[in-house]
Amino acid sequence: MPAKRGQSKRNTPEGERGVLVVVESPAKAKSIGKMLGPGYEVRASKGHVADLPERALGVDVEKGFAPTYEVKKEKKEVVEELKRAAEGKRLLIATDPDREGEAIGWHIARLLGRDPKEPIRVEFHEITPKVVRQAVEAPRPIDQNLVDAQQARRVLDRLLGYNLSPLLSQAFRKRALSAGRVQSVALRLVVEREEEIGAFKREVYWLLHGRFRAEGQELWASLYEVEGKRLWAGQGEKEGRLHLKEEGEARRLAQEALRFPYRVGRVEVKERRKAPPPPFTTSALQQAASSRLGYTASRTMRIAQRLYEGVDLPEGTVGLITYMRTDSVRVSPEALALAREVIGKAFGLEYLPESPRVYRNRREGVQDAHEAIRPTDPRRTPESVRPYLSEEEHRLYDLIWRRFLASQMRDALYEHTVVFLEGGSFRFRASGSVLKFEGYLKAWGREEDEEEPPVPALSQGAEARLLEVRPEEKATEPPPRYTDATLVKTLEELGIGRPSTYAPTLETLEKRGYVERRGRTLLPTPLGQEVTDYLRRHFPQVVAYEFTARMEDRLDQVEEGKAPWPKVVWEFYEPFLKELAQVPKKTCPRCGRPLELKVSRYGQFLGCTGYPECTYTEPLEADEPLEEACPKCGRPLVRKRGRFGPFIACTGYPGCDYTRDDAKLTPWACPKCGGRILEKRSQRKRTYYRCENKACDFLSFYPLLSTPCPGCGWPLVKKGEGACLNPACPLHDPALLPKEAPKAKGRAKKALPQGKPRDWEELMPFLPELPKEEQKALEALAQGEALDEAKAKLAKKALFKLRMRKGRAKKEAVVGD
């Protein structure tokens, strides 16, 4: 019997009983399933299936940091489905080709009862039919070194988070605070940059620009030297340079310069070559997408994931780019040959260098298992695949495609000219460049700061006349705030983090409220600054750049099999414990024992470690006093935190029941009831305005103006030159009213069951354990009978009991094994 497409003849017997291929994402499963065809079933684990427990440390420090793993609550059904699908089939694990993917594969193998040392692991560095079929023909055992490296990282993160996060919550009396090796160092960078900006002292300096005529041509040149002293232009050392601090001094010097005759001094004409950048690594892609497309690191990686996992094209489903988590610039010889073919056709043979360019990784310790990020087939131009991509997918693919081709093109060639004009003790300088050959810029494009106006060709020794001199005031600028691009670049230069960590690190900083975005820049919040100060004071090693970078190197050594992972964890944990022991603890006012962070059904609180002997508790978040009086009774207002978040309340409760949402107060009065208007933000980050009185339904998505409507007296809203929001006004614009959504009255009732339950066969063995009435109601439901409301409720109750019993039976079976 001939082997089916995608199967090897020697594996035909296994192919006949089927092969289960497990990947991480459903999109990837769909793409690979189409490529492998019959005989293969492709399922998705949807990320990690097992992890350390949620509400316990899960790490036995005394036994070599032995971790305890459990199936994640939301993945139990996924694991059960994988177990059923794997029965009697050969297993291939094709999770992502990195540490995380290896660890996920290791967990899947254990949970499905397979030996990780068997050849069950396959890797897809690109998702194309050829590569996928080749990979399934050459499985390997799971790499325990990769698993250990991920395990070490996870244990480190748990030890740090489990000890430090509750400490931060206690210190700042806030919920959901966290710290991490990479996260806290990245936050420190943002905070210290803000401190540099705050401490920056602005210095004014003046430049002089002269307009010259020489050999019938005009050109502008800047003052370069006076009496052999270089003019200070805001950069570098000022020692021994001429610093023009005052306008008067600059104008005096300008008048003096006009007194001298000038001639053309030295003329330098040089050829300058600019080599193309290498193909993308993860950090380089995030930087380019941030500066050129305005995408955050997280958004860039989400789009890249879709391009990697597969896109439906006329020829079938295919991944458009190679794996997008890599710090290597290596490219396969086959890809280089295809790139040269496309460059010759698309741009011309004159743009091809004599031989392919080979790039070397600049940083030591780069993991070279993956290629650089590149198109899987550069013959698929951005325009040819545009109809099958979203706008953001097309823009990112275009960026990757152009960068890859540019990396294999000739240097750009510039002619750079510098002209010195000399007269008396003054020396002016003019420089410019002309692009002689575009080279790789034909594909990659020019950066804005690369352009430099050309200067005319002048003969050395020619006479020149200074026509005018214009002073220009300048001032030194503080260092720029970080953007996604520059922060990722700095982390990479310091050796902190790895390709897979940059995007989630930035996302966590924003989610925790440690940083906020202003356009593309990242600013630390007051909370972020306070947390960084606390960590620098009590845990200097946790946020030390060199220490964190060294830990990354040690994790790489674990991956290479050069260091045992428990030893590497201890190298970090031991100094952390010493710092932790020196942090003063908050003590119980009743018995003097330390307080600890506890969690109840109502949230977090502080409780005594002497419980149950001592039952002292106190709320985690104390009320925050506000400099504002209650509009009802005049007592002070405070900010409280309830089940649904922060709110403003009166200190006179229960005598005064005034409360309102915790939102910014505006100076406007509500035109309906006279209450104050609050500025709020929706879940989609859209600003809107509503009355503070909950009984009032005034709402506007436009800021109010101080100008009253001439028709009704309501304040106009800011739309165009002003528009009226009052529905009763003849000048009202109906488009301004928000669309009404149906109001829910209380909690929505769950529908009563109808028809045979989907898991009826699994529930039937436990049916005799129910009371007779519930048995009858459930049997009638399974037979499709119409039930009245009373019987339907009885059947619903019985279903709940049976499913709980089924769950207990599964747990008992696992314990028995």
Q: Which residues are catalytic?
A: 323
Query: Among 499, 99, 149, which residue's Cα sits nearest to residue 304?
Result: 499
Query: Among 187, 190, 184, 286, which residue's Cα sits nearest to residue 503?
Result: 286
State the residue for tokens 């809107």: 688
The CA distance from 342 to 381, in Å, is 9
Contact indicator for 142, 102 with CB cutoff of 8 Å: yes
β-sheet bridge partners, residue 273: 413
Helix (H, G, I), strand (E, B) or coil at 594: strand
The CA distance from 395 to 42, in Å, is 30
Residues 6 or more apart whose CB falls under 8 angstroms from that of 654 comprise none
State the residue for tokens 């600003």: 687
Contact indicator for 798, 772 with CB cutoff of 8 Å: no
Burial (Cβ within 10 Å: 0-12, 13-18, ≥19) of residue 298: middle
The CA distance from 302 to 324, in Å, is 10
Name the DSSP class of 30: H
The CA distance from 762 to 19, in Å, is 26
Tokens for 205? 């300096």
Interstrand relation of 617-619 and 624-629 (parallel, antiparallel or unpaired): unpaired
Residues 6 or more apart whose CB falls under 8 angstroms from that of 322 comprise 125, 126, 308, 370, 371, 372, 373, 374, 375, 376
The CA distance from 408 to 275, in Å, is 10
> What does R_g of the chain's alpha carbons equal in angstroms?
34
The CA distance from 648 to 625, in Å, is 10
Name the DSSP class of 714: P
Return the ∠ at Cα 157 (arms to 154 and 159), rounded to 5°: 110
In this structure, what are the phi and psi dihedrals at residue 329, rounded to the nearest 5 degrees?
-110, 15
Distances (CA, A) of 60 to 56, 159, 516, 569: 11, 10, 37, 12
The CA distance from 777 to 755, in Å, is 12
β-sheet bridge partners, residue 660: 648
Burial (Cβ within 10 Å: 0-12, 13-18, ≥19) of residue 361: middle
How many Cβ atoms sit within 10 Å of the Cβ of residue 340?
Answer: 21
State the residue for tokens 């503070």: 692
Contact indicator for 181, 548 with CB cutoff of 8 Å: yes
Helix (H, G, I), strand (E, B) or coil at 269: strand
Tokens for 710? 């001439």
Contact indicator for 624, 639 with CB cutoff of 8 Å: yes
For the chain, first and last CA: distance in Å? 40
In this structure, what are the phi and psi dihedrals at residue 369, rounded to the nearest 5 degrees?
-70, -30
Give start and end residues of each alpha helix (H) in 347-408.
382-385, 391-406
β-sheet bridge partners, residue 637: 650
Interstrand relation of 70-71 and 515-518 (parallel, antiparallel or unpaired): unpaired
Name the DSSP class of 10: G
Contact indicator for 780, 767 with CB cutoff of 8 Å: no
Distances (CA, A) of 470 to 111, 222, 384, 476, 518: 77, 10, 53, 19, 36
Query: Among 597, 558, 663, which residue's Cα sits nearest to residue 162?
Result: 597
